[in-house]
Structure 1
């Protein structure tokens, strides 16, 4: 679940993104100052909370991280407007340290690699990566599905040249890190970086 807010440049609207619309046409149901966004197959992909500053004080801009108490306020608001759905807090970090356990060339590409990357709690993700410096044994920063990059790009499961990919291996430039090198390639972390540990982005 991604929350985004920018009162000065967009409006006093909290955008709540739950799923990828997968290119499907969106439908909107509005009750009061809340709009529910669904796809033609019935999936709820997001909510718009208009005039949100009447309910919450949000100091951050861009992607914002709400507390359980703030989400409870939104859930009460949903009930008051007549919606039966509720938001479930998700505090799982979306940017984490990963370990490249496997890296093989993509059979249908001269520059893509198919990786198996260990992330938090021993879980592995298959990620197709185009960085020239990706290789087995690296510690890297992984943007998991449901992450929002500093430039606003949303990360969802996808497919590259016929191979499923579940996340993105990030460069320093993509993470908007200070003094990011201009040379193309992913960020290589020290070998003592802890796999599964949250990587601070946009804080």
Structure 2
């Protein structure tokens, strides 16, 4: 999970996105001390903005920052200080990892979809993929459930034409990376990558 801190651009505020709003116009805010809770239509928590962040946290980096256990503990202490009892038990394991395609089969209900079994190190995920260039024995970038894409989309378990899919095999474009016109489809990695390793971008 990533948080964002850009004091030169938006001020001394730590941004913690949790979920994308279904309707960006139907959002409310609730402030408790320096903490602003951002709520969606059904009072689901979309994220938090923590103002005067430099007074509460030792932030050595700017931009996109990995939420570590240490930083999360500091955030929990701040929440406790202001008697904000929201659960902050986030899964901090990497959400963008290297995957190895063990198997590719034709989707039974869609000509342009493939059902892939992808080794991501500690488990094998079934991922339905629509890219024409996906194939067995490739190393690829997998956005696991819980990953937040650069577009703001949160990856969740789903069914595509009736087949369960857990995660997404990514293209360079979906990762916000430069992509040449001839590089259509998923981002195929070279052999030096290891399945299960975090993919940093």
TM-score range, shorter chain: 0.7 to 0.9
Find the counterpart in structure 1 of residue 132 from structure 2: 132
Q: Quick one: structure 1 residues 26 and 58, their matched pair in 2 at CA, closer, same or farther if it must change by over 3 Å?
A: farther
Residues 134-165 of structure 1: CA deviation (Å, up to 9, x unaligned) = 1122111111122233x343332134344333
Q: TM-score, normalised by structure 2?
A: 0.78
Q: Quick one: structure 1 residues 101 and 155, their matched pair in 2 at CA, closer, same or farther if it must change by over 3 Å?
A: farther
- How far residue 37 of structure 1 moved from its aligned partner, in angstroms, is 4.2
Q: How many residues align?
A: 197
Find the counterpart in structure 2 of residue 60 from structure 1: 62
Q: Quick one: structure 1 residues 11 and 193, their matched pair in 2 at CA, closer, same or farther if it must change by over 3 Å?
A: same
Q: Quick one: structure 1 residues 9 and 35, their matched pair in 2 at CA, closer, same or farther if it must change by over 3 Å?
A: same
Asked if structure 2 preserves the Cα contact closer than 8 Å seen for 1:98 and 1:119, the reply is yes
- How far residue 35 of structure 1 moved from its aligned partner, in angstroms, is 2.7
**Runs (5+) with no aligned partner, structure 2:** none
Deviation beyond 4 Å, 4+ runs, structure 1: 8-11, 19-23, 25-28, 37-45
- Superposed, 1:1-203 pairs within 5 Å as 1-19=1-19, 28-37=29-38, 44-56=45-57, 57=59, 59-61=61-63, 63-85=64-86, 87-88=88-89, 90-121=91-122, 123-149=123-149, 151-157=150-156, 158-177=158-177, 180-183=179-182, 184-201=184-201
Cα RMSD (Å) of the superposition? 3.0
